[in-house]
A and B are shown apart, each in its own frame.
Chain A
Amino acid sequence: MSEMANVMTEYEIRELCHEFFDAYQDGRVDVLRRIMSDDCIVWHNVYGRETTRDENLEAYPNSYTGQRRRTYNDRIINAFHDGFVIQYSLNGVMHTGHKGALWICIVGRVRDGKITRIDEYMDTSKFAAWMGGPRA
């Protein structure tokens, strides 16, 4: 990152975005804690409320319930001066073997090489199809 000013380049913002999603994919909570600012806020359209970084990371293991694997694919990233928007497919493989996909959009704000805010948009009506039914 440039030392002249705490302004991140487009490349740095894109790299930070990929680092975030790679860490989420690989379960690297330590990396997530490093690249999310201490005061990072995560807002979900599903709940309409904000959570702190620590609340979000504490909930991370539970978010994997019933899932064998999650990958964050088809990442379309556009960067603006202090953030990014990413459109992606969340592909999941459940313990039942069922495979599901969700289309999600996240708007992130960045400062000093870290993510300071995340706004997540998804459609919960797709959750049932994403999880699939119980094992036959």
Chain B
Amino acid sequence: MTVDTAHRRLCHALFDALEAGDVAAVEACYAPNMTMWINVSGETITREANLEAVDQGRGLHRRRLYNDRNINTFDDGFVVQYTTHVVAHNGTEVPLSACLVAEVRDGKISKLFEYLDTTQFRSRARTR
């Protein structure tokens, strides 16, 4: 398998696991010392904190899809541009364009950097 294919598979495995709310499958994508940085807070969180957030986030919405995955890979990582499509419990739907940059080592994600616009998410959720 080429590096390109391996990174693309890893990216899809992560997003598929997030969609399914499968914390164990998300964890399987991460290196032991994985960290995640989010532009919203400017803070870096640990793997454990990330997995806890994934677990707690499962019940927040009826459904969350990661669509329009536009993936490009490089030697030690990938970038994916995507649309998070959230369906709330009351049926409202909110699409949000986001970008995730990942560093990959030994087939696992070692760092994640997420960029999104929280203002858009809040305003769209409010107006629907």
A interface residues with partner B (beta carbon < 8 Å): 45-46, 48, 78-81, 83, 85, 87, 103-105, 107, 119, 121-126
**Bound Cα distance A83, B79 (Å):** 11
A-B contact pairs, 23 of them (CB 8 A): A45-B97, A45-B116, A78-B74, A78-B77, A79-B74, A80-B72, A80-B74, A80-B79, A85-B72, A103-B115, A104-B115, A105-B99, A105-B101, A121-B39, A121-B99, A122-B39, A122-B115, A122-B117, A123-B116, A123-B117, A123-B118, A124-B120, A125-B118
Q: Looking at the assembled complex, report how far the CB atom of B110 sits from the nearest CB atom of chain A, in whole angstroms.
A: 14
Question: With the chains together, A51 CA to B89 CA distance in Å?
Answer: 35
Residues of A contacting B40 in the complex (Cβ-Cβ under 8 angstroms): 123, 125
Determine the distance from Cα of A81 to Cα of B115 in the docked complex, in whole angstroms: 22
Q: Give the CA-CA distance A64 to B42 in the complex, in Å.
A: 24
Taking a contact as CB atoms under 8 Å apart, the answer to whether B119 and A123 are in contact is yes
User: Whole-angstrom distance between the alpha carbons of A79 and B77 in the complex?
Assistant: 10
Instruction: Provide the bound-state CA to CA distance between A46 and B120, in Å.
Output: 7
